[in-house]
Chain A
């Protein structure tokens, strides 16, 4: 399936989609293709189901990344499709913007079982409430890390107690 067909199928269902390409290689050139799809947070499961249906093999899940945009939080779900065939792999990323006043999104683990670690990490690092998550414990932070402190945020909830060495040595 080539890139234009993927973009077409997403646009048919009403999602906004665009492509970014980068060239690599010295004598023989190859392109790195990234498809970005903008999704509303209530429709994230449907968008992923659409991607599972249109790709031949089960898509490969990479990671969920997050940014703090001031009043909103932006989540990107990164997948790849068409692996295993020479030079045909494409990155498909779903961009979801969630307002900070109502930080909730549904879990995608019923469709993609390997997303569990990533969702636990987003929950503890960004403070997003993931509904229906099967296992909500801390992933990387210790159990007694203070509540309400989210390391990836850039507002008042970012960690203030950092291990400053040089102050004591003066």
Chain B
């Protein structure tokens, strides 16, 4: 239950760094009328320059390391990272492979991360993670 009133809407930019798509379809399912996150003002945006929260899914493969770093630099402050799924936390089922570059915290040290574990996490868990990030951003200001 969100009983506070938030001062502004939260815009999320989603990045897929080589995931299996399971977490991605649960993120989209969170926007559909059953869970309907858009009524809180949370929406997916098209460019990292407009975003407050970056949602990462997937273990970061070798190819996506530069893109992940570039997207993080392009996002204006204050920003928060939401890591969805176990792949970004520790590698998940893929944990020791020759084509992975490590979990998100190895690639972006010093970023403020919120973790949503699960493989894939339920849409309710993802919404809970976004709300926690939201509360942090509001407190930050």
Complex: A in contact with B (CB within 8 Å): yes
Determine which of A145, A159, A165 lies in contact with B91 in the assembled complex, contact meaning CB atoms within 8 Å: A165
Shortest A141–chain B CB gap in Å is 7
Please classify how large the interface on chain B is, using the bins under 10, 10 to 19, 20 to 34, 35 or more: 10 to 19
Main secondary structure of the interface of B (DSSP, over half): loop
Which residues 99-129 in B have Cβ within 8 Å of A in the complex? 99-103
A164: which B residues are within 8 A, CB to CB? Answer: 96
Contact with A along B59-100 (1 / 0, CB 8 A): 000110000000000000000000000000011000111111
Specify the main secondary structure of chain A where it touches its partner: loop
Contact B90 A163, beta carbon cutoff 8 Å: no
B97:A162 contact, CB within 8 angstroms: yes
Most buried by A among B62, B99, B103: B99
Complex Cα distance, B99 from A165, in Å, reads: 13
CA distance A145 to B90 in the complex (A): 23
A148: shortest Cβ distance to chain B, in Å?
A: 13
In the complex the two chains form, is B99's CB within 8 Å of A141's CB? yes
Distance in angstroms between the alpha carbons of A149 and B102 in the assembled complex: 20
Contact check: which of A145, A151, A162 meets B96 at CB < 8 Å? A162
Kindly identify, within residues 68 to 101 of chain A, every residue whose CB is under 8 Å from any CB belonging to chain B: none
Q: How far is the CA of A149 from the CA of B98 in the complex (A)?
A: 10
> Is residue A2 contacting chain B, with contact meaning CB distance below 8 A?
no
Complex Cα–Cα for A145 and B101 (A)? 13
In the assembled complex, which residues on chain A have CB atoms less than 8 Å from the CB atom of B102? 163, 165
Q: Is the CB of B63 within 8 A of A163?
A: no
CB of A161 within 8 A of chain B?
A: yes
A161–B98 CB distance below 8 A: yes
Q: Are B62 and A142 in contact (CB under 8 A)?
A: yes
| C-alpha spacing A159/B96, complex, angstroms | 11
Nearest B residue (CB) for A164:
B96
- In the docked arrangement, what's the CA distance between A159 and B95, Å? 15
Assuming the contacts A142-B62, A142-B63, asked whether A165 and B98 have C-beta atoms less than 8 A apart, the reply is no
B75 shortest CB reach to chain A, Å: 25
Residues of B within 8 A of A (CB): 62-63, 90-91, 95-103
Known contacts A142-B63, A159-B98, A165-B96; 7 additional CB pairs below 8 A are A142-B99, A161-B98, A162-B96, A163-B102, A165-B95, A165-B102, A165-B103
